Amino acid sequence: MKILGIESSCDETACAVVEDGRKVLSNVIATSLEEHKLYGGVVPEIASRRHAESISAVVKEALEQADCSLDDIDAIAVTYAPGLIGALLVGVNFAKGLALSANKPLVPVHHLRGHIASNYISSDIEPPFLCLVVSGGHSHIVAVNSYTDFEIIGKTRDDAAGEALDKAGRTMGLEYPGGVSIDKISRQGDENAYKFPHPRVNGCPYDFSFSGLKTAVINTVHNAQQKGERINIPNLAASFQKSVVDCLMNNVENVIVEKNFKKLVIAGGVSANSKLREEAKRLCDKRGVTLYLPELKYCGDNAAMIASQGYYEFLSGAVADESLNAYATMPIDENYKTI
Ligand code: KG4
Ligand code: ZN
């Protein structure tokens, strides 16, 4: 079964054709990132306009590269939540038009479920497994009970890991996205040079909090500026990255031990982080757990992951009609049919 996936939740306009959820026939991405770099973050209106301009060409290109016509496609999957609403609406409306004109089923896909599915195209993993989903807007520890049954075990109370990295990067004067810049510059730094607090969260023992950590790094930079002191940015970046990764891994380790998971999957843009990948491997070796990481090209936003998850959503019966809407927020454990 061939699924055409469309993704437009942030600054990537993407389309892919994936066969049976696992085999990528094409994966085309256009991005407006360079424009957003000028502003130090994604400007929603610019992202929406670029989606509107490039989506037709991106979809045509994905069909061409897959050597397919619309007739060969069995269903159209589209990210409908969560994300920037104006950006999502471009993809959702395009997918609706396409599904209507070609008379194909329309399958709504949750963006974070898509990130998890990036592992289905990178390895032969099947649920159940434990997953750490870390993106620019979300940090979740999720039990993936089946392809379409998700249970949130822990989540961030405030900033997402990617968001904290991006804001810290901006304060350090690094290029957007800060997560990518911090990963690069940290390789030349001493991660033990600065000590940051390890925030404790009351209530759910598996929840995260990154805002205190983010404020600590911002204060470090501002204090140094006020005193006219120079900061060693590679050292600061490496120390901050270590603290973020330690927080993520501490909670994941507790879940693995207490709930006896044997497979750990990492997903989302931050899963590209070299320190996180290294520490996840160390943890899994120590605990006798098998680790699955997406290939680097599928860590960031792409449509192959949407087409992959779309395949499983379609098999489970999640098909939308022409009234499908986009949503800026949506819990990962909410199924489309229950809205
Ligand atoms: O999943 P994603 O591409 O978009 C969202 O769904 O949000 O994630 C983007 C986030 C950004 O915060 C970016 O800084 C972070 O992923 N990111 C990284 C790396 N690559 C992307 N963070 C740390 N290290 C990286 N190598
Ligand atoms: Zn994403």
Nearby residues of 171 by Cβ (< 8 Å), 6 or more positions away: 217, 218, 221, 222
Here the tokens at position 142 are 């999720």
| Its pTM surpasses 0.75 | yes
Residue 200: the pLDDT is 78
Ligand 1, atom 22, lies closest to the CA of: 179
Ligand whose nearest atom lies closest to the CA of 174: 1
Residue 338: the pLDDT is 46
Distance 112 CA to ligand 2 centre (A): 7
Summarised one tens digit per residue, pLDDT across range 64-114 is 999 999 999 999 999 999 999 999 999 999 999 999 999 999 999 999 999
pLDDT at 339 over 80: no
Handedness of CA 329, 165, 116, 146 (dihedral sign): negative
Residue 199: the pLDDT is 81
Q: Angle 26-97-16 (CA atoms, 0-180°, nearest 5)? A: 10
Banded model confidence at residue 222, pLDDT cuts 50, 70, 90: very high
Ligand 1, atom 26, lies closest to the CA of: 273
For residues 170-187, give the mean pLDDT: 97
Strands 2-7 and 12-19: antiparallel
Ligand 1, atom 8, lies closest to the CA of: 269
Banded model confidence at residue 337, pLDDT cuts 50, 70, 90: low
CA atoms of 172 and 170, how far apart (whole Å): 5
pLDDT at 126 over 80: yes
User: What residue ranges line ligand 1, CB within 6 angstroms?
Assistant: 10, 115, 135-137, 162, 165-166, 177-180, 183, 268-270, 272-273, 300-301
Helices assigned H by DSSP within the chain: 33-37, 44-65, 85-102, 111-117, 161-171, 178-186, 211-227, 233-259, 274-287, 304-315
Peptide bond into 128 cis (omega under 30): yes
Distance 136 CA to ligand 1 centre (A): 5
Burial label for 194, CB within 10 Å (0-12, 13-18, 19+), is buried
For residues 267-275, give the mean pLDDT: 98
Distance 102 CA to ligand 2 centre (A): 28
Here the tokens at position 128 are 């159940």
Q: Distance of CA 152 to CAs 4, 149, 170, 196, Å?
A: 28, 10, 30, 27
Task: State the CB neighbour count (10 A cutoff) for residue 149.
Answer: 13
Residue 336: the pLDDT is 87
Summarised one tens digit per residue, pLDDT across range 272-321 is 999 999 999 999 999 999 999 999 999 999 999 999 999 999 999 999 99
